[in-house]
Amino acid sequence: MNKDFGIIIACYKKDYRFAKGCCASIRYFLGNIPICLLVDGAFPVAEVVKAYEVQVIYRDDVTNSVLRNKSFGYGLTKMVAFWESPFEHFLFLDADTIAWGNLLKYADFDNFDFVVDRTENNCLNDQGINRYFFNTKEIEKCFPDFNWRDYRYNYFVSGVFFAKKGIFELADYEKMLELRKKHPGMFKFGDQGLLNLMIFRGVQEGKFRIKNENLQFFGSHFIDNLSLRKRFSLESNRAILQENDATVIHWAGGINSPLLARTEVYHQPMTFFRKKCFQDYLGVNNFYANILLHIEDFLPNFQIYGKKLSQQFPTLFQTFRSVKKFCLSMVKS
């Protein structure tokens, strides 16, 4: 692997809990490879910094004013990596992912500028492209020279990809941001359509070399599929790797988020690594890590409805606060 390589994870406050699990999975399967957290927000990330020596980039750390002012928020934060990455070559991961196995075997920067996922064919008919990537009629109007049909089987879900820093011209990205603002429905799923367009226009022009690999496995595929769950099994507090298996498990947000309360979602691999982050950061055992995990998942809802609860059920509210305080004191002692 190239010496100037690392893994970049983008997150905001609500999915930072998953980013911690992602960092833990990287350390578990990939050793001491450098990690950088690209943060949309101003919240602390002490757990991953202490446990895994993660480098952190906040908005205020971004040197370019265009990126700092226009490229943060849903679907745009990750784009900052193409210009401000601390690594010349990187693997990008969404926060709600975990590494499973040696992902580095897919990196091939000598022969390719991008290594991206291979999307299922049923998402790549005209209807699927218009749903998951971009409005093809708008693309034809704005980019009449781009033959979008030629790459229909290469478009990818952008939660996982290998790429090189500095490969795009910032001026081209600025134009895309202006188009996104002018035509709100042109690009789908945040950066996904925009990034695919930038890459494959470059491929058509002979600027970029790209390869599709089976890089990610979606959490929605776990539903009612026991054989797939066995592929990503956990035994005796260990992740069980099947032979040379290597992929990224991606829960892809929304109803598939790997929260403890989502009993219909196979969240166990993410839960395992989220607990491991608590263990590595605080030095606690599995029992206390499990308590902290439940508090972490319940707390956001508690904060939203806490004021109403405190007014209607003051005793219950105070009891919960006392229990939380006690648990944290036990963990730290």
Which helix (H) or strand (E) covers residue 310, if one does? helix 286-312
Model pLDDT, residue 265:
84
**Burial of residue 149 (number of CB atoms within 10 Å: 0-12, 13-18, 19+):** exposed
- What one-letter code names the amino acid at 155? Y
Annotate 248-262 with DSSP letters as a single string.
Answer: EEE--SGGG---TT-
Question: pLDDT in tens for each of the 333 residues of the chain?
Answer: 556 999 999 999 999 999 999 999 999 999 999 999 999 999 999 999 999 999 999 999 999 999 999 999 887 999 999 999 999 999 999 999 999 999 999 999 999 999 999 987 667 888 989 999 999 999 999 999 999 999 999 999 999 999 999 999 999 999 999 999 998 889 998 899 999 999 999 999 999 999 999 999 887 766 556 677 788 889 878 999 988 899 999 998 777 888 888 888 889 999 999 999 999 999 999 999 999 999 888 876 655 555 555 566 666 656 666 665 665 555 444
Kindly report each contact of residues 119-122 with a partner whose C-beta sits within 8 Å and lies 24 or more positions away, as own/partner.
Answer: 119/153, 119/155, 119/156, 119/157, 121/153
C-alpha–C-alpha distance, residues 189 and 306, integer Å: 32
List the one residue out of 149, 134, 136 whose CA is nearest residue 180.
134
List the one residue out of 280, 214, 230, 223 whose CA is nearest residue 251.
223
**Within a 13 Å sphere around the CA of 300, how many CA atoms are in the beta-carbon half?**
10
Model pLDDT, residue 309:
57
Contact 184, 90 (CB under 8 A): no
DSSP reduced 3-state for 231? helix
Contact 26, 33 (CB under 8 A): yes
Annotate 35-98 with DSSP letters as a single string.
Answer: EEEEEESS---HHHHHHH--EEE-GGG---HHHHHHS-STTTGGGGHHHH-SSSEEEEEETTEE
Which residue ranges make up each domain of the chain?
5-118+156-167+208-217, 285-333
List alpha helices for 122-162, DSSP H: 126-132, 136-142
C-alpha–C-alpha distance, residues 181 and 185, integer Å: 9
List the one residue out of 8, 51, 2 whose CA is nearest residue 276.
51
List the one residue out of 192, 257, 259, 274 whose CA is nearest residue 218.
257
Distances (CA, A) of 22 to 19, 27, 113, 136, 249: 5, 9, 24, 34, 10
Strand locations in 102-202 (E): 114-117, 160-164
List the one residue out of 148, 130, 147 whose CA is nearest residue 185.
130
DSSP reduced 3-state for 15? helix
Model pLDDT, residue 218:
86
Mention the CATH class of domain 5-118+156-167+208-217. Answer: alpha beta
Q: Which residues pair with 247 in a beta bridge?
A: 100
C-alpha–C-alpha distance, residues 317 and 302, integer Å: 9
Annotate 238-292 with DSSP letters as a single string.
Answer: EE---TT--EEEE--SGGG---TT-TTS--HHHHHHHHHHHHHHH---HHHHHHH
